[in-house]
Structures are given as C-alpha cells and as structure tokens.
C-alpha cells in the first residue's frame, strides 16, 4: 500500500513561494505607489498654487488702468482672457473695500464662461491681490483655481498602479509556476516517488536529475543512500543465509 501523502495545493512549496513573492512585490510596489502618489499630489498642488499666484499678480497689474478709468468692458475682456486657462475656475474683482463687486466671471460645468454674482464656492485654491494705481489701492482681484485636473491625474495614476500590480502579479504567478515546476517541484516529486517505492522494498529505483544546484546535490545524496541501503540489505541477507 502506498504511503505517499496527498498534499493540498495551498500547502505545496509552489503555492507558498508564489504567495510570498506576490505579497512581497505587491507591498514594495504599493509603498512605491503611495510615495509616488504623494509626490505627484504635492507637485500638482504646488503647480496650482503657483498658477493662482502668477495669474493674480499678472491680472492685478493689467486691471489697474481699466479699473481706474471704470472701463468695465476691458475688465471683462481681461477676465475672459485669463479664464482661457481651464484650471482657472473663477475670477472676482471688487472695489478697494473688498465688498463691492466690480466684475466677476466663472466657468460652468460645460466649460462656458459667464458673468458671476461674485459668490464662489467649492474646493478651490484662492489667491487675492490688490489692484493699485500710483501705489494707491483701487480694488482687489481674486483668482480661484480648480484642483479637478490634479484629482483626475491622481486618479489615473492610481488606476495605473493598480493595473501594473495586477499584470505584474499575473506574470509572476505564470513564470513561477513554470520555473518552480521545472526546477523544484518535478525533481522533488521524482525523489518522493522513488523514496516511497524504496520504503516498500523496491531498491532498483533510478532517479536522474541533471542539476548543479541543491536539488542535484540532494539527488546525488539520495543515490548514495540508496546504494548504501542495497549494500546493507545484501550483507544482512548473506548473514541470514550463513546462519541458516
């Protein structure tokens, strides 16, 4: 009767090695992805803040003369031109008291630019600058920049990392199944079958494993053990025959 043990697939060396490698690679790439995500987030946040600062500073200079001359049409054109940058969500211009609305424009969800009542809400980056004429404040301009593009880029990056992890893990599993099957599992199976038959008295088992690694060394040791058992059994049989 065979004494071989039916090993569950999840207890096999192949499953344990593959699981260990997959978990390790996933953790490493996951951590790398988190650091990269934070780096991109900080970079994009800094870029949006810089955009708001530059836009507010530039517009405050250009608004000086038309606000001084109360040229609302030119002010409107300047705001529309600044909103050509799609990350700019709204612009609000007030008088020097900061409360009386002079002009305001905002971008709707469909991308169109319309006049605004000056009330801007949402998760927006806001930068204000004074509008001056001869070093005297005559108004204020507020730039509102939307982080939508940043969030979209971060979402795409996260999806890319997840996709990379999935593809990489599938490749690792396929490669490890093939490599471990050829280099480790099959030689061990041959040695296990031979050992099982020898344990039941069949000493004429031959195991050939052409490998220069630890598995090959194990096969050589197994062969020497088999030869030693043959010699020991032969001597034991001779002694039994002589006693008889």
More confident residue, 118 or 209: 118
Q: How confident is the model at residue 97 (pLDDT cuts 50, 70, 90)?
A: confident
Q: Please tell me which of 125-129, 160-164, 217-221, 227-231 the model is most confident about, judged by mean pLDDT.
A: 125-129
pLDDT at 5: 55
User: Can you state the angle between helices 214-243 and 186-199, rounded to 10 degrees?
Assistant: 10
User: Which strands form 101-107's sheet, in the order they lie side by side?
Assistant: 113-115, 101-107, 88-95, 136-145, 125-133
pTM across the whole model: 0.63
Q: pLDDT band for 55, please (50, 70, 90 cuts).
A: very high
Compute the average pLDDT of residues 49-54.
93
Region label for 226, one of left (φ > 0), alpha (ψ between -120 and 50) or beta (otherwise)? alpha
The reported pLDDT for the residue numbered 150 is 80
Positive or negative: CA dihedral 17, 214, 225, 202 = positive
Provide the pLDDT for residue 121: 84
What number is the average pLDDT over the span 139-144?
Answer: 94
* pLDDT band, residue 2 (cuts 50/70/90): very low
């Amino acid at each position: 009767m065979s004494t071989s043990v039916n090993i569950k697939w999840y207890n096999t060396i192949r499953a344990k090695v593959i699981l260990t490698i997959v978990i390790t690679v996933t953790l490493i790439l996951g951590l790398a992805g988190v650091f990269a995500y934070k780096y991109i987030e900080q970079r994009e946040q800094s870029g949006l803040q810089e955009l708001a600062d530059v836009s507010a500073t530039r517009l405050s200079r250009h608004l000086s003369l038309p606000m001084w001359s109360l040229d609302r049409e030119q002010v409107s054109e300047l705001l529309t031109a600044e909103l050509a940058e799609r990350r700019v969500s709204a612009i609000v211009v007030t008088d020097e008291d900061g409360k009386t609305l002079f002009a305001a424009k905002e971008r709707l969800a469909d991308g169109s630019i319309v006049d605004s009542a000056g009330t801007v809400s949402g998760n927006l980056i806001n930068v204000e600058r004074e509008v001056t004429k001869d070093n005297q404040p005559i108004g204020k301009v507020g730039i509102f920049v939307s982080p939508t593009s940043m969030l979209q880029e971060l979402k795409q990056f996260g999806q890319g990392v997840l996709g990379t992890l999935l593809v990489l893990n599938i490749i690792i599993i396929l490669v490890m199944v093939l490599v471990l099957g050829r280099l480790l599992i099959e030689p061990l199976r041959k040695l296990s079958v031979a050992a099982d038959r020898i344990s039941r008295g069949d000493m004429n088992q031959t195991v050939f494993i052409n490998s220069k690694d630890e598995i090959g060394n194990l096969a050589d040791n197994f062969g020497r053990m088999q030869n030693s058992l043959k010699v020991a059994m032969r001597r034991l049989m001779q002694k039994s025959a002589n006693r008889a």
